[in-house]
């Protein structure tokens, strides 16, 4: 007997009614916070497979959590990268500089000097430690919270501020939103506000590098929310099929603006677990442990450079502040979350590790913070000489038509002249610089 059409099923049928699951975070504003449900394994307990192992050997590490720094601030276990003290101090300094830069730019936005800013507080290790693990000529495809990579690669702070202020010294000529940097010289691909587009771009760049027989690899970053985009899965497919030398980073900071990670699939599986379905190597790492992040990034980079293919790394971390200056996290999450986060703060953890090694002190750290605050302050004053947002010091009006064609086509030349003419009519006192 054929099944009865759904439209003819009696209301009193014994079939259970269907229900839709809508993910809901554990804590909302005003709720007490308890992270005891998170499995946090002891540091050093995770095995480190050979970089040339079959991708399937990494499957257990997609649900585990690679950790190096223990409760006594010591580096333990097989993932300890055994970095010398000077390298660790440089890493600490770049992370601290990134945070000082964020704090200053946040205040600048509140003062009306720019329209928008995004801090990476609590996530500095996911970019800075990764940058230290890569070669300087490896191509990076960042999202909008990886300013630490540019700083680690020596990009001038003044130039970053000029871009944020969209002033006359902005190398991007005011054509990008604040914080969407680009630097060919530093192998830093242009940041895009279109989420996850950098993933297939990174996969394609890595494939091209392999086709040319180059030795450079690509590395890309997205937030866990962006991993729900179709571009993420297209990139994963291409990278696996063609064995592209690329490292995919998913920064799981628990929140995609006001949507918690469950909307991107975190309730069902870890984000690193997606590697298993694609036949890709995968690692899940404590994103607030700079040594663990460095070790995982170096492992994946070495694997890619040895023609063993791509790796997906999930950085398990926490977005300590708002999504951007346009966001108020107090409207959707408990204020206690930041204080209760069980994996701590990446800067404090590296600071305590160096102190425990006898290679740093509280006094040195305080002096460094003071120095960096003054450094960023001086850079800000220098950049402000070129203008801040909306104060008339910007690139000449004609530049909006430049830098796309080697020779300006006739129709754009006409548009340019018409725009200039209308501008002079409306503002007779205006003069093109």
Active site amino acids: 319, 323, 332
Q: Which tokens in the block code for residue 34? A: 């308890």
Question: Residue 358 burial (CB < 10 Å; 0-12/13-18/19+)?
Answer: exposed
d(CA 403, CA 173): 10
Q: How far is CA 386 from CA 92, 154, 160, 164, 379, in A?
A: 31, 21, 13, 12, 12
DSSP state of 127: H
**Is the separation of the CB atoms in 128 and 149 below 8 Å?**
yes
Sign of CA pseudo-dihedral 285, 291, 293, 299: negative
Q: For the chain, how are helix, strand and coil distributed in percent, rounded to 5?
A: 40, 10, 50
The residue to which tokens 């926490």 are assigned:
318
Alpha-carbon dihedral of residues 282, 150, 261, 313, nearest 10 degrees? 0
Contacts of 433 (CB under 8 A, 6+ apart): 396
């Amino acid at each position: 007997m054929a099944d009865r059409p759904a439209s003819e099923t009696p209301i009193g049928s014994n079939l259970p009614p269907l229900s839709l699951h809508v993910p809901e975070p554990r804590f909302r504003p005003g709720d007490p916070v308890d992270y005891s449900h998170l499995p946090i394994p002891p540091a050093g307990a995770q095995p480190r497979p050979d970089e040339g192992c079959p991708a399937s050997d990494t499957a257990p590490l997609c649900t585990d959590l690679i950790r190096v720094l223990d409760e006594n601030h010591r580096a333990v276990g097989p993932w300890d990268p055994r970095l010398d003290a000077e390298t660790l101090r440089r890493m600490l300094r770049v992370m601290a500089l990134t945070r000082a830069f964020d704090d200053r730019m946040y205040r600048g936005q509140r003062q009306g000097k720019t329209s928008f800013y995004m801090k990476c507080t609590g996530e500095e290790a996911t970019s800075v430690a990764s940058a230290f693990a890569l070669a300087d000529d490896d191509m990076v495809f960042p999202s909008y919270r990886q300013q630490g990579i540019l700083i680690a690669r020596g990009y001038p702070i003044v130039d970053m501020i000029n871009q944020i202020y969209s002033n006359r010294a902005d190398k991007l000529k005011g054509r990008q939103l604040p914080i969407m940097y680009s630097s060919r010289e530093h192998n830093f691909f242009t940041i895009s506000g279109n989420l996850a587009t950098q993933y297939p771009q990174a996969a394609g760049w890595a494939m091209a590098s392999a086709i040319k027989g180059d030795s450079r690899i690509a590395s890309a970053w997205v937030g866990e929310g962006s991993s729900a985009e179709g571009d993420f899965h297209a990139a994963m497919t291409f990278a696996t099929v063609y064995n592209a030398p690329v490292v995919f980073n998913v920064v799981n900071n628990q929140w995609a603006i006001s949507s918690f990670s469950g909307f991107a699939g975190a309730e069902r599986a870890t984000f690193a677990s997606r590697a298993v379905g694609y036949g890709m190597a995968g690692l899940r790492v404590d994103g607030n442990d700079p040594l663990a992040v460095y070790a995982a990034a170096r492992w994946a980079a070495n694997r890619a450079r040895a023609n063993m293919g791509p790796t997906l790394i999930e950085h398990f971390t926490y977005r300590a502040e708002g999504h951007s200056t346009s966001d108020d996290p107090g409207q959707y999450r408990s204020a206690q979350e930041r204080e209760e986060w069980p994996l701590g703060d990446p800067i404090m953890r590296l600071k305590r590790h160096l102190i425990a090694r006898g290679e740093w002190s509280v006094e040195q750290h305080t002096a460094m913070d003071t120095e960096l605050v003054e450094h960023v302050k001086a850079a800000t004053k220098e950049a402000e000489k070129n203008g801040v947002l909306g104060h008339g010091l910007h690139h000449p009006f004609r530049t909006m038509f430049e830098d796309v064609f080697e020779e300006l086509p006739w129709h754009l030349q006409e548009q340019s002249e018409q725009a200039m003419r209308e501008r002079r009519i409306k503002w007779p006192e205006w003069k093109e610089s």
